[in-house]
Amino acid sequence: MLQIQDVHQYYGGSHILRGVGLEVRPGEITVVLGRNGVGKTTLLKCLMGLVPIRRGTIALDGQPIAGWPPYRRAAAGIGYVPQGREIFGRLTVHENLMMGLASRPAHTAIPAVLYELFPILAQMRRRRGGDLSGGQQQQLAIARALAASPRVLVLDEPTEGIQPNIIQAIGEVLRRLAREGVDGRPMAILLVEQYYDFAQALADRYVVLERGEVVDAGAGHEMAQRGVRQRIAI
């Protein structure tokens, strides 16, 4: 579904991403791990077109998209949940979800399954986003990214600052989305995460970054025996 090959990116004279490559497949959760400052968020921004790449390829279903603007990538089926959530605090829950439909035709309805996945949003649909708790805002950010029924879901550290019960609920939602997406079709999920236990529980495949390079990759069930926890420990 999503292929990233030999991606390089610089900030000024600093070489941030060094030949990064990975693949995200429908029905699977691919987890990217690494310490702070290794380029994880930069990789996702390159994927979404928020930061240009210097060299390499990014393809969706075999179609090169590295030259596309962010809105076109969203319309093609990539949903993005940024680090820090970035919901619209002055808009209601319902209005935030409508913003997720910006790439779809007018009058497209919010998928009812979103309120099934996140029941708290149904209860608070008229409440302003800025009045929600951190965990509720994170659920809203994920639901907003799902509103347009993307084929690929990209998440940047969704557990950051979230209470344990919400983390567990988000994990259950991601497993379900990988199986059946929003519309019954398997979804490809790319998850950047620092919380090792959460990542290991979800990963079908994993990638470890160090200094902007892929230093290890494999099947999720191999993470413990390959010492991934130690590699990302601060």
Three-class DSSP category at 133:
coil
- At residue 218, the pLDDT reads 95
Write down the pTM of the prediction: 0.93
* Total number of domains constituting the chain: 1
Distance (Å, rounded) from C-alpha 112 to C-alpha 212? 40
Strand ranges, E, within the chain: 2-11, 14-24, 29-33, 55-60, 63-64, 78-81, 152-156, 188-192, 205-210, 213-219
How many CA within 13 A on the CB side of residue 167? 16
117/27 Cα distance (integer angstroms): 17
**What's 65's domain CATH number?**
3.40.50.300
Q: In this structure, are residues 13 and 173 in contact, taking their beta carbons and an 8 Å threshold?
A: no
Quote the domain boundaries for residue 115.
Answer: 2-232
Q: How confident is the model over 154-193, as pLDDT tens digits?
A: 999 999 989 999 999 999 999 999 999 999 999 999 999 9
